[in-house]
Structure 1
Amino acid sequence: MGQFHATTIVAVRRSENDICIGGDGQVTMGEKTIMKQKAKKVRKIYKNSVITGFAGSVSDAFTLTEKFEKKLEEHAGNLKRAAVALAQTWRSDRAMRNLEALMVAADKESLLLISGNGEVIEPDEDFIAIGSGGNYAYAAANALFKHTDMSAEEIVREALNIASSICVYTNDNISVEKL
């Protein structure tokens, strides 16, 4: 079996009451085969107070999401503390070290990128994009965020639509979660 390319994720935070993460639904194997068109790569966790989105191996991302929710429970829902704890475990745990995924997480206060290299990054801007079409979606979100009054959800949807028109690993079967 070939390498799976999985997804484009966009997160936008306009205010503490306007936060959205969305992802496309495509999972591609190798360079040419679309294995799934309607995968859901965003979800609400921890009492519906945190949204996550992932790019990378789907099974690895599910594992990370479960572990992240446990860290949120251990840290009473504190997103930053839970993200740092997850990144530390991810980097130091022998089995987890091989997980191939990136995660974006948001709550009412923060927007974070969490990686297996031990990084927890809070972007300078209130938007971020990851995955195969991440650069395209990021550029679109940047322009829409700075030059329109669109809501977080509208920006996420349009950035993903733009990315899907450019990136062969991104489709327009978009799912979103918002706080």
Structure 2
Amino acid sequence: MDRQNGSGDPTGWRGTTILAIRKDGDVVVAGDGQVTAGNTVMKGTARKVRRLAQGSVLTGFAGSTADAFALYERLEAKLEQHPGQLMRACVEMAKDWRTDRYLRRLEAMMAVCDKDISLLLTGTGDVLEPDDGLIAIGSGGPMALSAARALYDIDGMDAESIARKAMGVAADICVYTNHSLTVEKL
């Protein structure tokens, strides 16, 4: 999960793909397991998707590992301060992320979902709720998002099936994404 250097990736990150899907009352967050350093695969089974708030919140992270743990801890604290209020916890975290001197240096994105809402958080203070319930971040994000949108209306495909298939498409195309998935569902 290293910083991208001008390859045109709109997320600014390569080395990960995170996909969140909300469909028919289910929420799924999936992430690949590949960690890269430059053009070298360092690990293929990293867990980039986590449960927070006693399992009621799913998160996925694109960025460095150290940044991920720092932000997961901060988000967990905000969720404890504002139980059952994911939007408020995320807005408070985004304020801190943008204004805190240490956090401001963290370059990352997070997909955060509970049973009611899906949000994209960035270090620039953005807390965005997608219109269609789909979020994709990381270098393979555009491929996973395109595949998920194409699969979304197919009869018989639930959120988890869509996530697994779309992540497979991204892994087949993006060299910084692999087929070792972590999938969490609410």
TM-score by length of 1: 0.94
SS where residue 153 of structure 2 aligns? helix
Counterpart of 2:124 in structure 1 is: 117
Equivalent residues in 2 for 1:132-143 (5 A)? 132-143=139-150
Indicate the RMSD between aligned Cα atoms, in angstroms. 1.3
CA deviations on 1:103-133 (whole Å, 9 max, x unpaired) are 0010111000000000000001111110010
Q: Using the TM superposition, name which of 6-15 and 157-166 deviates more.
A: 6-15
CA separation in 2, counterparts of 1:146 and 1:132? 25
Equivalent residues in 2 for 1:59-138 (5 A)? 59-138=66-145
Asked if structure 2 preserves the Cα contact closer than 8 Å seen for 1:13 and 1:126, the reply is yes
Counterpart of 2:35 in structure 1 is: 27
Asked if structure 2 preserves the Cα contact closer than 8 Å seen for 1:21 and 1:51, the reply is yes
One-letter amino acid of the structure 2 residue matched with residue 10 of structure 1 = L
Asked if structure 2 preserves the Cα contact closer than 8 Å seen for 1:105 and 1:111, the reply is yes
One-letter amino acid of the structure 1 residue matched with residue 19 of structure 2 = V
CA separation in 1, counterparts of 2:18 and 2:48? 8
Counterpart of 2:165 in structure 1 is: 158
One-letter amino acid of the structure 1 residue matched with residue 56 of structure 2 = S
Identity %: 52
- Residue 38 (structure 1) shift: 0.4
Structure 2 unaligned segments of length 5 or more: list them.
5-13
One-letter amino acid of the structure 1 residue matched with residue 68 of structure 2 = A
Asked if structure 2 preserves the Cα contact closer than 8 Å seen for 1:6 and 1:57, the reply is no
CA separation in 2, counterparts of 1:89 and 1:148? 42
Matched, 1:9 2:18: yes
One-letter amino acid of the structure 2 residue matched with residue 176 of structure 1 = V
| Runs of 4+ that moved beyond 2 A | 2-6, 146-149
CA deviations on 1:78-106 (whole Å, 9 max, x unpaired) are 10000000000000000000112100010
TM-score by length of 2: 0.91
CA deviations on 1:12-36 (whole Å, 9 max, x unpaired) are 01133x1100000001111x10011
Aligned residue pair count: 176
Asked if structure 1 preserves the Cα contact closer than 8 Å seen for 2:24 and 2:158, the reply is no
- Residue 161 (structure 1) shift: 0.4
CA separation in 2, counterparts of 1:119 and 1:100? 13
Asked if structure 2 preserves the Cα contact closer than 8 Å seen for 1:112 and 1:122, the reply is yes
CA separation in 2, counterparts of 1:23 and 1:91? 25
